[in-house]
Amino acid sequence: MSGANRISRLPCGRWTKWAVIVLWVVVVGITAPLAAKLVHVQKNDASSWLPKNAEATEVYNRSKPFVATDQYPAVVVYERRDGTITQADRDKATADAAALKAVTGKLKGEARKPIVPSVLGPTPSKDGHALQTIVNVKIGTSGWDLLGAGVKDFRKITQHGDPPGLSAHVTGPAGYGGDFGNVFSGFDKTLLLITAAIVILILLITYRSPILWMMPLLCVVFALQAAQGVVYLLAKHAGLTVNGQSTFILTVLVFGAGTDYALLLVARYREELRRHEDRHEAMAIALHRAGPAIIASGTTVAISMLVLLAAELNSTKSMGPVMAVGVGVALLAEVTLLPAVLVALGRWVFWPVRPKYGTPEPTERGLWARVGTRISVRPRITWIGTAVVLAVLSCGLLWLHTGPVANKDAFSAGKPDSVTGEEALTRHFPAGTGSPLVIVANAAQQPQVQAAAAQVPGVVNVHQVGAAKGGLAYMEGTLTARSDSGAAFTALNRTRTAVHDVKGADAKVGGGSAFTYDVSKASRHDQWLVIPIVLVVVVAILMALLRAVVAPVLLVLTVVLSYTAALGVSAVLFKFAFGFAGVDQSFPLWTFVFLVALGTDYNIFLMTRVHEEAKRHGTQRGALIGLSATGGVITSAGAVLAGTFAALGSLPLVFVTALGFTVAFGVLLDTFIVRSVLVTALNLDVGRLMWWPSRLARPAEVTRPDERETTPAG
């Protein structure tokens, strides 16, 4: 038996299967407690997202001697819409200020203690209809975790016992941070349950067995525990940045990708059970035949994710290793643990439709065999027509609005108190209150820098805070527009230009607006850097796998066309159906990485089978056999992956909802139309030239039917 076959026998040998199962039980026993600690090493504070070379990052680092950079201001707004503020209102706000100062919280690794170092106000508005109190919150490195609980306490204090006609709201950076934190609080468990339910439902429909679905799900759960444990160790001891966003997407990706690989292996195993009486032999051959495709698919996704390390934005850069670990562990589980479990249990797990030795393979006469027959009548018209339809759908990109999304537009469901509070704040105070521009410059040029910033339209109350330290002066200015609005970004850039022109000042401008703007700018840079690299990686892997040039290039073009079509349809729905004001600048990059990397999975599933069959029957016949054999697997895998990403829609945030919808729709489009129809039609029309310049492109290289192997591939 060949070396490859000996390797494929290891997870499913008569004795080695038990060793594999025990090994995985031990691994999960070790990693499960570590996985439970993953939430404690997350970094959700703003500094962990900033690109290192951004001006906002430099200001953040320079500001440390002057202000506590782990403090966020919450703005409490008291508003009386039907009249002027009364003495009772002032007394209530004053009493609240004292109560707010006494609020306590628990930082990671510390005992409960006060988290409010200072309270400013209450300050009346010029029109006499509102009061404002600024509450500085010390969050340490806890980010959203502490803010969510703290802001809840603030609202209990300020919104209890208000005089009739007076409303109180908590907004500002801490108010929004608290609302974001409350959205994410406990969502990892909710997402896990929703994702598991979707996977179970689709597997039940796919397998029509009350038992078989448990095996892939068990392996995915084991893989998730192990992956989370590895990510925890990397975050704790290797400096990997992990945030709430990356941890819940890790759950979705492990469930989706792991189940995809399981579907492909189980389908091939079921085929081989009809050809081999010994289930150990059947699994060894299934692994030998399907293993390279599964490994190539997982490797492609993992490497594509690691390309994100080239990104500037820390949140994007850190996503790469987290996702790569998840896919790698899921891949390992599906080619070791799943074969061992299936072989250990025997054929009965397929009940009530057990694949019996010697029975015909049903996919040879199934739906996708009939679809292939219809495509073969006019393959050129089919692929041209499909490509034209996808190109038309891609025109929806004209309605795609990307860029910094205002905090008030970041929630896809409901209207949190921070949004209502910001609306009240804007009616009576400068809209940028609570999120000032921060300017740090050489102390000798401080007067000139302050004067230059004060002349910028949209910036008021520029003043020095504290004394100069270390040769630097620290200044703040208030924006008249919302800190996350286009007008604020215009004022920010004008301020930067003005202070940069002061000779010898080495002045830099940061703060909340600068953070949002610099993150968006870095995202735009990453988009144009990462996308071409991912495409090159995917083409290179496909060339190595298929030993051809034409097929990989055409396949990647179909993936790109599928991506633009999915993005186009999503853009139209976001604007006219969902009512989104826009999507984050990083949205196109994230959807590209997921759709292209995962879309390549289905290319590999299909084309490795076509390549295998083309050696025996020629490309045209091989394409039809490949479609009939893998069409059901690919569409089932697509349904699982789409379902897991659709689960993200349960999180009421625009970015997450948009990402989940687009990836889910794109995967369904890719599996049902692009992979199964467009690529099959191209295979039939281009024929053996798909494999140029390999020997398979020559007609003589096709093996005659009487020269087939003793054990057919199916």
In a domain, 64, yes or no: no
pLDDT per residue over 461-474, tens digit each? 999 988 899 899 99
d(CA 21, CA 402): 47
Q: Are 24 and 97 part of one and the same domain?
A: no
Q: Can you tell me the mean pLDDT for 238-262?
A: 83
Q: Is the pTM of this model over 0.85?
A: no
Question: What value, to the nearest 5°, has the Cα angle with vertex 173 and ends 168 and 179?
Answer: 70
Q: Are 217 and 179 part of one and the same domain?
A: no
Residue type, 607: M
**pLDDT at 102 > cutoff 60:** yes
Reported as a pLDDT band with limits 50, 70 and 90, residue 198 is confident
In a domain, 408, yes or no: no
Tell me the helix, strand and coil percentages in the chain, rounded to 5. 70, 10, 25
Q: Can you tell me the mean pLDDT for 614-621?
A: 85
* Residue 186: predicted pLDDT: 64
Q: What CATH number did the domain enclosing 121 receive? A: 3.30.70.360
Containing domain of residue 533, as a range? 3-42+186-403+518-707
Per-residue DSSP letters for 26-43? HHHHHHHHHHHTGGGG--
In a domain, 413, yes or no: no
Q: Are 424 and 542 part of one and the same domain?
A: no
In a domain, 55, yes or no: no
> Residue 356, SS3?
coil
Reported as a pLDDT band with limits 50, 70 and 90, residue 229 is very high
Domain boundary among 164, 184, 204: 184
In a domain, 60, yes or no: no
Q: Are 15 and 121 part of one and the same domain?
A: no
pLDDT per residue over 288-307, tens digit each? 888 888 888 888 889 988 99
d(CA 468, CA 441): 10
- Nearest residue to 454 via CA among 477, 472, 480, 474: 477
d(CA 255, CA 98): 49
Q: Are 550 and 653 part of one and the same domain?
A: yes
Q: Are 522 and 511 part of one and the same domain?
A: no
- Reading phi first (left if > 0) and then psi (alpha if -120 to 50, else beta), residue 143 is in left
In a domain, 377, yes or no: yes
What's the number of CA atoms in the CB half-sphere (13 Å) around residue 559? 27
Maximum Cα–Cα distance across the chain:
99
Domain boundary among 128, 150, 184: 184
**pLDDT at 501 > cutoff 70:** yes
Q: Are 230 and 321 part of one and the same domain?
A: yes
- Reading phi first (left if > 0) and then psi (alpha if -120 to 50, else beta), residue 170 is in beta
Q: Are 522 and 504 part of one and the same domain?
A: no
d(CA 696, CA 705): 16
Q: Can you tell me the mean pLDDT for 367-395?
A: 92
Higher pLDDT residue, 359 or 472? 472
pLDDT per residue over 628-674, tens digit each? 888 888 888 888 888 888 888 877 888 889 999 999 999 999 989 99
Domain boundary among 156, 184, 212: 184
For the chain, first and last CA: distance in Å? 20
Question: Hey, what's the torsion of the CAs at 31, 32, 35, 40, to 10 degrees?
Answer: -110
* Residue 141: predicted pLDDT: 58
Q: Are 578 and 523 part of one and the same domain?
A: yes
**pLDDT at 90 > cutoff 80:** yes
CB 470 within 8 A of CB 443: no
In a domain, 540, yes or no: yes
- Nearest residue to 479 via CA among 516, 524, 520: 516
Q: Are 499 and 541 part of one and the same domain?
A: no
Residue type, 84: T
Please state whether the peptide bond connecting residue 122 to the residue before it is cis, i.e. omega within 30 degrees of 0: yes
Share of the chain above pLDDT 70, in %: 93
In a domain, 59, yes or no: no
Q: Are 147 and 112 part of one and the same domain?
A: yes
Question: What value, to the nearest 5°, has the Cα angle with vertex 51 and ends 447 and 245?
Answer: 130
Q: Are 296 and 371 part of one and the same domain?
A: yes
What's the total number of domains in the chain? Answer: 3
